Structures are given as structure tokens and as C-alpha cells.
Amino acid sequence: MLLERIFTTDFFFSVLRITAPILFATLGAVIGEKAGISNIGLEGIMMISALFGSLTAYWSGSWAMGVLLALLIGILVSLLMGFFSFNLKTDIILTGVAVNMIGSGGTLFLVKVITQLTEGSAMASTTSLITKSLQTPSVNIPLLKDIPVLGGILSGHSVLTYLAFLLVFFTWVMLYRTPLGLNIRSVGENPNAAASVGVSVLRIRYIAIGFSGAMAGLGGAYMSMYYAMGWSQDMVAGRGFIALAAQAMGAGEPFGAMLAALVFGLAQALGIKVSSLGADSNLVSPIPYLVTILGLVIFALVARSRTQRRHSAAALASAAGK
Amino acid sequence: MNKRQSLLFSLIRGGAAIFIALLVTTFLIFISADAPDGASFGAAVSAKLSLTGGALRQLLIGPAFRANGSISVKNLSDILASMIPIIFTGLATCVMFSANQFNLGAEGGVMLGAFTGALAAIYLDLPAGLLAVVCVLIAAASVGVMMLIPAVLKARLGVSEMVNSLMLNYVVMYLIKYLLNTYLADKSKGQIQSYPFRAGAAIPQLVDNGSKLSWGFVVALAFVVITALFMYRTRWGYAIRMIGINQDFAMYSGMKVGGIVILSQVLGGVLAGMGGSIEMLGRYTTFSWGALPGYGWTGITVAILAGNNPAFVPLAAFFMAYLNKGCNLMSTYSGVPAQLIDIIQALIFLFFAAEQFLSRYRQKLVVRNTQAELAAKATPAEGSVK
């Protein structure tokens, strides 16, 4: 049976593994968007963090240092984006495009300069630097791992995978249960109103974009220190952009966006599985991107019919009132 | 501020942006230059400085002049040739950004245009001359149709054209790779490439020195004029600029916003598609692109440098092509990786697009100007009282 060959325990395990980096970036997009910031630089931030994370892990001999530095680089780059966008009034989308340029070509420049690896003209990468011991470690969850199917799917992931899903909850708590979250949402909803009650809009925006960059930084660390061994050119491959779509499909809410990210993870895992069964990889690789477009369309259609229904219900109610 | 001063301010601002970018570039080159092993600190620094100087010379002067100081015609024609695709993507981005449509699909558009143009050049049997024109038209139309996807979804459903166009770039790339590998590749060749184009499809060269400076350059300049006239002298161009400035105002004054949103992106696609096919037919004899070419992103930089005004696109494209050539020369002769161009590009881009960059200086200019005007007005007024 083809379906049995596809939907194995390993397959669902890989869905979670593939979803995690998208989820990190998605949370970054969610927090940014809540503060009214469209952070399209997530892709570039992930590339830059992935590079410096893997280099630091190599130099320090510790994966934790690598992850920490990736996180810090993510925050640093996003704060720089903030400086250009909030203080110098560069359009946030253009700032993002610039960060993505640095992420795709600039990182290659840096890796050549830093590691002196110039084999070929474009083959520089840090794949030779990251060994098994520098990967973020996998964790077996004590009781869970003994449960038959579920254990195989949920246990044995990287610490970062668990962190990604935990952060969904923490992001929700931060946005809806803390004063900071209230301020972030109010700045995104109406900056003038927020300013009028004494919220420092600039400060809140910096904090929000900093969070956004931190998430992308973790996503970058995941890419170069767990998903793949080391950094290589264009390794993020649009995950930062897919995250923007997941954010939109999840209506900007952490849990909804997590579900959307899982859909993309599923699509990508399916693609990898199908191509391992013999399908052309060039035919399978665009699936996540196509699913993104379809997902956005379906989401928009559903949202539209929902508002229409609400409007007609309101019209009926007011007609009945007369 | 009068027009002359405002132009002067833009020039100073642009100059400052480029200066800062070059300062950072110098710093990066200095870091990446190799000092001889075992040299003392002072010797290492001086060795690095001289290497940096040499690399900077390659970057800034190399594209135009040879080592002996004479003008390098070959390098300059290389630069003009590499302007062709980025003029088109620059124009495409100008049109789309003018309407406030952040469609980033010029990248995929160039590749699709190059591909459909190449297909037509291989499989259509038409007389020479006509064939090239038909190829470019087919390419333009195909990318125009591709852009309908993000455009219509934006206009009808409000789906972000930015995300959709980015996703389309990847879809287009993989689809082309699939079609090329599976159905269209010339299996007798060692690398993956299509069958050769018909001779009649080639765009004739302007200069025959291997620079691949084709008549496409003239076509590109013609389209600069056409696009500029379209944007500033026609109703549709006006409508596109208006919805970019204030979409609500445009809607309430009776413009069909949805239609204009679609028009701007389809036109952007048409221009990108033309650029792709002209680049393909003017430079190559078979199709062998296996990845997105990057012209779309450079086109965005070009559009930002040109302030979304088509008339300035050739200047901005020249600037970017010059720097790109300089980076290539630098990596050949000084060993500084050519990808430095992406960092330079991003920096110039950021400062150019920064509205508030040097705003204090601008403020001072305005104040001084107004004071001078007031003083000039006050003097004759006093005179008339007496």
C-alpha cells in the first residue's frame, strides 16, 4: 500500500522536524505583525544567524554557544532594521529586502573571508565544520518515548524543536497576558492611540522587532545546527517567506499560525517522501510554495465569506429591529 | 525649498549614501585582505592597507580605465551589456512600486521570460528578424500572464502580492528546471542545456568584441522613454501613480483601483519578461539557467536609486553594473570575494530609501531659505512704506 509506505511514524516525526524552523520564523512574523511591522527580512536574518551560529559552535566547541550567538545576531540584525525603518524612515519592506540581499550574497562573502574556504567559486560553506557533537542534542522524553506510535513521533527531537513549540505558548502568554503584549498589540492596532495614553511607540516597536529577530535567529540556528550540518548557500530556501504566509493564514495568532506552519511542514515532508519514492525532485520541491499560495487564497476566501455573513446577519437584525 | 535646491539636496544625500557604503566596503576589504604570515603588527597593517588600496582601485577605477590609464572599451561595453536586463527589471519595479504594489516577482519573471523566449527561439519556424521579435513578445505575454496570479489575488481577495510573488519565484524556477531536465534538454551535451536557438532568433550585436552588447541595449533605452512617457503622460500612468500615493483618495475620486492594481503588476511582468528574453537571445545560444538569475533583486535596487522614476533608471542601472564589474575585477585580481557587491548594494539601498536620512540638514536648508525669502520680502515692503 502506497499510503502505508508514506504515512509512517518516521514521516510524522519528520513533519515536526521540518516544521520547527518554519515555526520559529512564523512566530517572528506573528510578533512583528502584531506591532504593525511586516518583517520580510526573516529570511535574511535566518541565513545570517545560521552562518554565525555554526561558526561560533565550531570555534567554541559548544552547540549552546552557537545557538546563543545565533539568537543574539538575530536580535542585532533586527534592531538594525528597526533603526533604518523607525528612525531613518526606510520602508520596512525595503529594509527587509536589503537584509535578504545580505543574507543571500553577503553571507557567502563573509564565509569566504572568515573561513578562507574558496574551493570552486561558489562552494564555500561551513558543512565541514559542524560535526555530530556540535549539533543541538536530541532529547528522549522519559515516559512518552515508550508509548508505541506517539513516542516515535513526539520523542527524540532536538531541544530546539521542543523549544519552537513551547515558544508558541510563551508567545501567546507574552502577547495576551502581559502588559508588554498589550502595548505591542495596541501599537500595532493604532499607534496614535497608544502614544496618546503614554506608550512609547518607538520603544515598543524596537522590542517587537527584536523579538521577531530573536525567533528568526533561533530558526537560523536550527537550520545550520540540526536540520543540516553546517551552513551552505541559500539553505533557508524561502522558509522566512513561507513564515509570512503562515502568519497570514493563522490570522496573526500564535496557535493558528502554528497550525499553518504544520501544514507547510506536512507539505514539505510529503514532497521529500514522494521524491524518495522516485518522483522528480524538481516537480516535488515547489509543492510547499504552491501550498502557500493556495493556503493564502483559501484563507482569504473563508475570511471574506465570514465577514459577508456577519454583515448580512447584522443587516437582517437591524431590519427585524425596525 | 525651490526646485534647484531640492535637486541639490537629493544629490548630496545620494552622494552621502554612496560614500557611507564605500566606507563600509573599504573596511570590509581591509578585514578580508590577507596579511603576510609572521609579519609584525605595523608591517601587517601597512601590507593590508596597500592591498586594500589596490582592491579599491580595481573596484572604482578598474571598470573604466586600464592599468596604463587609457579608457577600457571592452570593460565599458561589458558594463553596458550587463545593464540590459537590469534596466528592464528596474523599469518593471518602478511601475509596480509606483502603484505601491510590492510585487517581488521580477526575479521569477526574468527567468520565465528567458525560458519562454528560448522555447520560441528553438521551436518556432519564422523568418529571421521577425522570429526575435515574436520570441520577445511571447516572453513578455507569458510573464504578464504569470503576474496575473498575484495581481488578481491582490485586487479581488486582498492577498499579499509580496508573499505570492515570492512564492511564485520558487515555483517558476523549479517548474523550468523540471521541464528543462525532463523534456527539453539536449541529451548529447554533458551539461543540462536546451537545444540551440534558431540562428534567426539571435539579437544582433552592436559591437563585436565578445561583450554581448546587443541591440537589446537600444531596445532597453527605448523602453525607458516609453515607460517614462507612459507613467507621466498618460491617464493610466497617472492612475498608477495616484493609487500609489493615496489609494483611498483614488477610489473615492472614481478610479477603478482593482483594475489599476492588476494593470501595474501585469505591466511589470511584461517588462521583466522582455528583459529576460532579450538577455537570453542577445547573450546565449542555448538555455541553461538552473537558478534564479538575481536580476530581479538588482532591479529593485535600481528602482530605489532612481526614486521610482523611469527616466533615472539607465543612470542607476549603469551605476549598479559598474559596481558589479568592479567587484568582479576586484575578486579576480585581489582575491576579495565578488559577493561583496551584495553588501554594497544593500547598504546603498538602505540609505537611499531612508526618508529621514540627513533630514536635519534638509530642515536647516528649508529654514535658511525661508528666512532669506522673508528678509527679501521685508526689505521692499519697508521701502514702500517710506
Beta strands per DSSP E along chain B: none
Q: Which residue of chain A is at minimal alpha-carbon distance from B150?
A: A293
Shared domain check, B156 and B42: no
A317 pLDDT more than 70? yes
Q: Clarify whether residues B313 and B261 are in a common domain.
A: yes
The reply to whether B301 and B347 lie within a common domain is no
Find which of B159, B167, B171, B352 to mutate to test the A interface (most A CBs within 10 Å of its CB).
B167
State how far residue B242 is from chain A, nearest Cα, in angstroms. Answer: 18
- Range from A283-287, B36-40, B317-321, B348-352 carrying the lowest mean pLDDT: B36-40
- Domain ranges in chain A are 9-321
Q: Label residue B365 exposed, middle or buried (CB < 10 Å: 0-12, 13-18, 19+).
A: middle
* Residues in CB range of B265: below 8 A, 6 or more apart: B96, B99, B101, B103, B105, B147, B148, B150, B151, B154, B161
Q: Does any domain span residue B128?
A: yes
| Residue A132 scores a pLDDT above 80 | no
For B353, the closest of A90, A106, A292 (CB atoms) is: A90
Distance CA A87, CA A85 (A): 6
Measured in residues, chain B has a length of: 386
Contact B343 A106 (CB under 8 A): yes
DSSP H or E run through A320: helix A287-321
Tens-digit pLDDT profile for residues A209-248: 999 999 999 999 999 988 888 888 888 888 998 999 899 8
Largest CA distance in chain B: 96
CA distance B56 to chain A (A): 16
Contact residues, chain B, for A101 at CB < 8 Å:
297, 301, 342-343, 345-346, 349
CB-based contact A297 B102, cutoff 8 Å: no
Average pLDDT over residues B192-211: 86
* B171 contacts on A by Cβ (under 8 Å): 286, 289-290, 293
Residue A122, pLDDT above cutoff 50: no
Residue B206, classed as helix, strand or coil, is: coil
Task: Using the predicted structure, report yes or no on whether residue A118 has a pLDDT greater than 60.
Answer: no
Which residues of chain A have a CB within 8 Å of the CB of B160? 244, 248, 296
Could you say which of B159, B337, B342 has the minimum Cβ distance to residue A104?
B342
Taking CA atoms, A258 is separated from A103, A166, A304, B206, B287, in Å, by 25, 11, 22, 55, 41
Instruction: Verify whether the Cβ–Cβ distance A105 to B355 is below 8 Å.
Output: no
Please give the Cα distance from A44 to A66 (Å, whole number): 18
Question: Do B267 and B152 reside in the same domain of the chain?
Answer: yes
In a domain, B371, yes or no: no
Cα(first)–Cα(last) distance of chain A, in Å? Answer: 62
Cα B144 to Cα B243, B316, B323, B380: the distances in Å are 20, 25, 30, 60
**Which chain B residues are Cβ-neighbours of A244 within 8 angstroms?**
160, 162-163
Average pLDDT over residues A262-271: 89
- If asked whether residues B141 and B185 sit together in one domain, one would say yes
Chain A interface mutation, best of B28, B159, B323, B361, highest count of A Cβ atoms under 10 Å: B159
Model confidence pLDDT, tens digit, residues B142-187: 999 999 999 999 999 988 898 899 899 999 999 999 999 888 888 8
- Predicted confidence at residue A223, as pLDDT, reads 92
Contacts of B339 in chain A (CB under 8 A): 105-106, 108-109, 112
| Amino acid (one-letter) located at B104 | L
Phi first, then psi: give them for residue B214, nearest 5 degrees: -100, 180
Reported pTM: 0.88
Which CATH number do you get for residue B158?
A: 1.10.3470.10
pLDDT digits (tens, 9 = 90+) for A144-168: 777 777 777 788 888 889 999 999 9
Q: Are residues B77 and B212 in the same domain?
A: yes
CB pair distance less than 8 Å for B153 and A102: no
Percent of chain A with pLDDT over 90: 42
Q: Is residue B258 part of a domain?
A: yes
B28 within domain boundaries: yes
A3 — pLDDT class (breaks 50, 70, 90)? confident
Residue B272 and residue B123 share a domain: yes
> Where are the strands (E) in chain A, listed by range?
138-139, 157-158
- Residue in this structure with the C-alpha cell 572599451, named with its chain if needed: B73
Evaluate whether residue B345 is within a structural domain.
Answer: yes
Burial A249-279 (b: 16+ CB within 10 A, else e): bbebbbebbbebbbbbbbbbbbbbbbbeeee
Residues B19 and B137 in one domain: no
Question: Is the Cβ–Cβ distance between A236 and A47 less than 8 Å?
Answer: yes
Q: How far apart are CA B260 and CA B262, in angstroms?
A: 5
- Shortest distance, CA B159 to any CA of chain A (angstroms): 7
Q: Do B96 and B140 sit in the same domain of this protein? A: yes
Question: Quick check: B194 pLDDT over 70?
Answer: yes
**How does pLDDT run across A197-207, given as a tens digit for each residue?**
888 999 999 99
Q: What is the DSSP letter of A138?
A: E
Contact A296 B153 (CB under 8 A): yes
Q: Across the interface, do A113 and B337 touch by the CB < 8 Å criterion? A: yes
Given an 8 Å threshold on Cβ–Cβ distance, is B349 in contact with A106? no
Domain A9-321 belongs to what architecture?
Orthogonal Bundle (1.10)
B68 within a domain of the structure (yes/no): no
Phi-psi region of A290 (alpha: psi -120 to 50; beta: other; left: phi over 0): alpha
Query: Same domain, yes or no, for B55 and B200?
Result: no
Interface contact flag, B342 A102, Cβ < 8 Å: yes
Look at chain B and report how many structural domains it folds into. 2
Listed ranges B60-74, B106-120, B246-260, B282-296; the one with the highest mean pLDDT: B106-120
CA-based nearest residue in chain B for residue A302: B157
The minimum CA-CA distance between A1 and chain B, rounded to whole Å, is 27
> Chain B: nearest CA to A102, how far in angstroms?
5
Same domain, B357 and B309: no
B28, B31, B163: residue with CB nearest A296: B163
User: B170 and B293 share a domain?
Assistant: yes
Identify residue B143 by its one-letter amino acid code.
V
Predicted ipTM of the assembly: 0.84
Chain B residues with CB under 8 Å of A237 CB are 170
Average pLDDT (B28-55) is: 77
Whether B316 shows a pLDDT value over 80: the answer reads yes
Residues of chain B contacting A282 with CB distance shorter than 8 Å: 174-175, 177-178, 181-182
Q: Greatest CA span in chain A, whole angstroms?
A: 79
**pLDDT score recorded for residue A124:** 64
Q: Which residues of chain A have a CB within 8 Å of the CB of B301? A: 101
Option in A91, A290, A304 nearest B171 (CB): A290
Binary contact (B163, A245; C-beta < 8 A): yes
Amino acid B1: pLDDT: 60
Residues of A in contact with B351 (CB under 8 A): 88
CB atoms under 10 Å from CB of B74, counted, come to: 12
Q: Which residues of A touch B354 (CB under 8 A)?
A: 84, 88-90
Min CA distance, A59 vs chain B (Å)? 19
For residue A95, CA distances in Å to A39, A122, B304, B348 come to 9, 26, 12, 11
Supply the DSSP symbol for B158. Answer: -
Provide the shortest C-alpha distance from residue A296 to chain B (in Å).
7
B174 CA: distance to closest CA in chain A (Å): 5
The answer to whether B164 contacts A289, with C-beta atoms less than 8 Å apart, is no
End-of-domain residue from the set B291, B319, B347: B319
Rg, Å, chain A Cα set: 21
- Residues B341-357 have a mean pLDDT of 83
Cross-chain Cβ contact B170/A286 below 8 Å: yes
Is B184 part of a structural domain of the chain? yes
A174: exposed, middle or buried (C-beta count within 10 Å: 0-12, 13-18, 19+)? middle
- Evaluate if residue A27 carries a pLDDT over 70: yes
Please count the residue pairs, one from chain A and one from chain B, whose beta carbons lie less than 8 angstroms apart: 137
Contact A301 B354 (CB under 8 A): no
CA distance A173 to chain B (A): 28
Segments forming the whole domain that contains residue B301:
73-319
Q: Which domain-ending residue is among B319, B345, B378?
A: B319
Per the CB < 8 Å rule, is A280 touching B182? yes
